[in-house]
Amino acid sequence: MPLARRLLPAALVAFAVLLSSCGGDDPAKNVDPDQVDSVEAPELGACRDLKPEDVQQASNATRTVDCNDEHTAETYAIGQLPAKFADAAHDDPDVAAFTYQRCSHQFEKFLGADESLVMRTVVSWAWFRPSEKAWDDGARWYRCDVVGGGEQSKSYVDLPVTAKGLLSGRPMDEWMVCAEGPTVVGDVKVPCSDPHNWRAVTTIKVGQDDDPYPGDRLVEVKTRDFCSKSVGAWMNYPVDYDYAYTWFHEAEWKAGNRRSICWARTSR
C-alpha cells in the first residue's frame, strides 16, 4: 500500500497501553466499465457500496448508487494533482503525501469536526487515483471517499443520505468510537451506541507539522502523562479510574498524524 493512502482515524494500527487508578457476491458485477480506465475526474457527491477490500486498492471503479439507497461510501472531495506530478510514477509516494493533506483537511470540513474529533469517529476516509492505464494516458485526478468503517472493520456500516455535517454539534454515539474488551488493543472497536467499556474521549497533539519524529519513547511518555490528567478531568476527578492511550509510530508520523488518543474505562 502506498504511503499515506488512507487515514482511518479510530482504527489506525497502533500501540495501546492500559493503566489503572489514575458474502459470496461476484465483485465484477459491481464494477462500472466506464469508470475502470476513465481519464475524466469522478463525480463529486457520488455514493457507492464499498467494502474493506475495495479500500485496499489504489484505484476503484465500483458502480455508483442513488444516495437515498443503502451505501457505505460518499465522495466528498475530488481534484487534479499539481503540474509537478505530470511525469510522476503511478505509485509515487509524493502523490500519496499530497493527497493525504488534501483529503484529511476536506474530511474535517465535510464532517463538521476538528482533527481531534475525526480521530474518535467510526467513519474514516480513503482516496483513489486513476488506473495505471488512465495514468499513462495522462489522468492526474484524485478522489476522496468517506466510508462507514475503519482499518479493522470486517464490513462497513451504511451512511446517511449524506455524511456532510455528520459530526457537527454533539455527534450521535453511533458515529463515535468505543471498545469492548479488557483493553483497547485489537479488533474490539464498536460504535458507542453498542455495549462497551472503553470510550475514546480526547486526543493530544504530540508534535507540529514540520517537526521530525521525536522517537517512540518521547511520544509514549507525553501521551501517557497527558491522558492520565485528561481522562481524570473528563471523569470529573474520581478517586480511582482506569485509562488507556493509543499512540502511533514513525510511519504514521511520516503520513501526517501528530495525535495520540486517550481512552476512559466507562459504559457511558
The per-residue pLDDT for range 104-144, each reduced to its tens digit, is 999 999 999 999 999 999 999 999 999 999 999 999 999 99
Radius of gyration, CA atoms only, the chain: 19
The per-residue pLDDT for range 194-213, each reduced to its tens digit, is 999 999 999 999 999 899 99
Compute how many other C-beta atoms are within 10 angstroms of the C-beta atom of residue 139.
19
Please say if the pLDDT value at position 62 is more than 60: yes
The per-residue pLDDT for range 20-40, each reduced to its tens digit, is 545 445 556 789 999 999 999
d(CA 231, CA 21): 11
The answer to whether the Cα torsion of 59, 62, 64, 70 is positive or negative is negative
d(CA 241, CA 224): 14
The answer to whether residues 259 and 119 touch, using CB atoms and an 8 Å cutoff, is: yes
Q: Please tell me the pTM assigned to this model.
A: 0.84
Joined grid coordinates for residue 48 = 457507492
Mean of pLDDT values over 150-178: 92
d(CA 139, CA 39): 5
